[in-house]
């Protein structure tokens, strides 16, 4: 079973989200009702705001053998329209959306819970998670149940993760980091997930002081926690009291590793994963927490570097395969064939080197059109398409630039349309946020007379550099 403790619920709290709790018995009852409601459906949407209802809906849909489509509550109208049309969920938990029946989680304490259905096939789809590509709308990565189970178990071995652990985080629940690793991971172990709701260093410290043992966060959060720990000894003590601080979704700069260790006595564990693969590598809890590395491959995950002939730099593209791999992109066999080769290797697009002991060091992206900002992977082409719909924009190129807080910030290089008043930079950013989602808004807008192009007319983004 994905969640064996549901069969015989412990007498304990299973999860806490934004100040509300569900015991294992309450979760089991709610899950049974959701599973009965969605029985026979292929895919079910869940409005993935941080709430106990969201978690109960996700676990209930999984118990029924259907696939969960996590929906970003901040998604722009066009992005949401695309995801709903592409995934075609039979109903949506937690939101009223055009043309989709709504369902709500029943947390009533009375009434017997329906029995749980038999465990579905391990190859059955568990999630359809939408991830940005370099061009066009997001693609739905179909993750099977065996990927969830095997990956969480591999992480448990690497991190000495048990039922005694309480995972603290403030990660979004429409993303695999927060939903699968941070929320379902503790439930599979039989421990507790504590989502603080809205991220704030004080809330994280409160949760750790209340029994939290592991903290999952992205580099932007770790940087803000380091700032807070420097100013407030209580926050430093709370972070220092955790058993494990884990960072992922983007690289944590060595300077932040050093600051966190200086103020808390803790060294952060980094791991490396993607929506399509879940987690591929991780520094072990008892391993060398070496800044700049994401550890060796997890048990069961094969990893190799594909280097160009004659390249002696040691840098190569990361290729992975194993039980953690997705089934493919929903409705996109062309994109699946492009990403997974005939031997089953998934081409990540990430460039890395290997230390002699097998530790992986990520050094960059194979393409220039994927931006990692605030823990999110963002496709430049999608933002460019949205900006081109603004009447003041004639041409545009979107790039990422290093940012101490976000990892990378989104920069829009814009050629103005003749005869149209130039809008404020904030107006262009708001335009993108309305069509797509707020974390995809440009942080910097640079107006230029022309974009650099090669002889074939292709924009040369490497020539776009900050003044």
The pLDDT of residue 311 is: 62
The segment(s) of the chain belonging to CATH 3.30.300.30 are 370-463
What is the CATH code of the structural domain delimited by 370-463?
3.30.300.30
Q: Mean of the pLDDT values across residues 285-311?
A: 90
Left, alpha or beta for 331 (phi > 0: left; psi -120 to 50: alpha)? left
Q: How many CA atoms lie within 13 A of 44 on its CB side?
A: 28
3-state secondary structure 87-136: HCCCCEECCCECCECEECCCCCCCCCCCCCCCCCCCCCEEEEEEECCCCC
Please name every residue paired with 167 in a beta bridge, in sequence order, or none if there are none. 193, 214
What is the per-residue pLDDT across 214-247, written as a single tens digit (0 to 9) for each? Answer: 999 998 899 899 999 999 999 999 999 999 999 9
The pLDDT of residue 134 is: 58
Written as one string, the DSSP assignment of 6-24 is GTS--SSEEEEETTEEEEH
What pLDDT band is residue 457 in, cutting at 50, 70 and 90?
Answer: low
What pLDDT band is residue 455 in, cutting at 50, 70 and 90?
Answer: low
Of 108-112, 267-271, 358-362, the least confident: 108-112
Fold that domain 4-270 belongs to in CATH: Rossmann fold (3.40.50)
What pLDDT band is residue 135 in, cutting at 50, 70 and 90?
Answer: low
Rounded Cα distance between 465 and 463, Å, is 6
Written as one string, the DSSP assignment of 349-410 is EEEEEE-TTS-EEEEEESSSSEEEETTEEEEHHHHHHHHTTSTTEEEEEEEEEEETTTEEEE
Mean pLDDT (the chain) is 93
Rounded Cα distance between 154 and 399, Å, is 35
What pLDDT band is residue 114 in, cutting at 50, 70 and 90?
Answer: confident
What is the per-residue pLDDT across 78-96, written as a single tens digit (0 to 9) for each? Answer: 999 999 999 999 999 999 9
The pLDDT of residue 321 is: 98
Q: What are phi and psi of 103, to 5 degrees?
A: -135, 155
The token pair at 430 is 């708001």
The pLDDT of residue 462 is: 83
The segment(s) of the chain belonging to CATH 3.40.50.12780 are 4-270
Q: 3-state DSSP call for residue 244?
A: strand
The pLDDT of residue 73 is: 95
What is the pTM assigned to this prediction? 0.85
Whether the predicted pLDDT of 298 surpasses 90: yes
What pLDDT band is residue 459 in, cutting at 50, 70 and 90?
Answer: confident
């Amino acid at each position: 079973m994905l969640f064996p403790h549901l069969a015989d619920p412990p007498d304990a709290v299973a999860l806490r989200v934004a100040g509300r709790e569900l015991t294992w018995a309450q979760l089991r009852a709610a899950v049974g009702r959701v599973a009965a409601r969605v029985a026979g459906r292929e895919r079910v949407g869940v409005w993935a705001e941080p709430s106990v209802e969201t978690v109960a809906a996700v676990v209930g849909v999984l118990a029924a053998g259907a696939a969960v489509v996590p929906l970003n509550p901040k998604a722009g109208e066009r992005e949401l329209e695309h995801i709903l049309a592409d995934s075609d969920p039979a109903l949506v938990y937690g939101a009223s959306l055009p043309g989709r029946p709504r369902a709500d989680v029943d947390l009533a304490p009375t009434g017997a819970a329906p029995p749980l259905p038999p465990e579905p096939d391990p190859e059955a789809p568990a999630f359809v998670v939408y991830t940005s590509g370099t061009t066009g709308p997001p693609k739905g990565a179909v993750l099977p149940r065996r990927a969830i189970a095997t990956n969480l178990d591999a992480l448990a071995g690497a991190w000495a993760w048990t039922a005694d652990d309480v995972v603290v985080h403030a990660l979004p629940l429409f993303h695999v980091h927060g939903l699968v690793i941070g929320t379902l991971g503790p439930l599979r172990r039989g421990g507790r997930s504590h989502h603080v709701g809205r991220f704030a260093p004080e809330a994280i410290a409160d949760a750790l002081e209340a029994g939290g043992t592991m903290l999952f966060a992205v580099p932007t959060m770790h940087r803000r926690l380091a700032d807070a720990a420097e100013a407030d000894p209580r926050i430093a003590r709370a972070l220092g009291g955790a058993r494990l601080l884990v960072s992922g979704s983007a690289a944590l700069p060595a300077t932040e590793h050093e600051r966190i260790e200086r103020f808390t006595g803790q060294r952060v564990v980094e791991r490396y994963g993607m929506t399509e693969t879940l987690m591929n590598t991780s520094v072990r809890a008892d391993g060398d927490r070496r800044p700049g590395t994401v550890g060796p491959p997890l048990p069961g995950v094969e990893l190799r570097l594909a280097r160009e002939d004659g390249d002696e730099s040691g840098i190569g593209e990361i290729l992975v395969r194993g039980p953690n791999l997705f089934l493919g992109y929903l409705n996109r066999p062309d994109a699946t064939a492009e990403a997974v080769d005939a031997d089953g290797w998934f081409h990540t697009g990430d460039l890395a080197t290997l230390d002699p002991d097998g530790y992986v060091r990520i050094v960059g992206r194979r393409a220039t059109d994927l931006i990692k900002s605030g823990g999110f992977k963002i496709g430049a082409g999608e933002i460019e398409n949205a900006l081109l719909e603004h009447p003041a924009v004639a041409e545009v190129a979107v790039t990422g630039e290093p940012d101490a807080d976000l990892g990378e910030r989104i920069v829009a290089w814009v050629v103005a349309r003749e005869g149209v008043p130039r809008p404020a930079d904030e107006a262009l950013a708001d335009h993108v946020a309305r069509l797509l989602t707020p974390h995809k808004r440009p942080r910097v807008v640079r107006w230029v007379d022309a974009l650099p192009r090669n002889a074939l007319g292709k924009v040369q983004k490497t020539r776009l550099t900050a003044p």
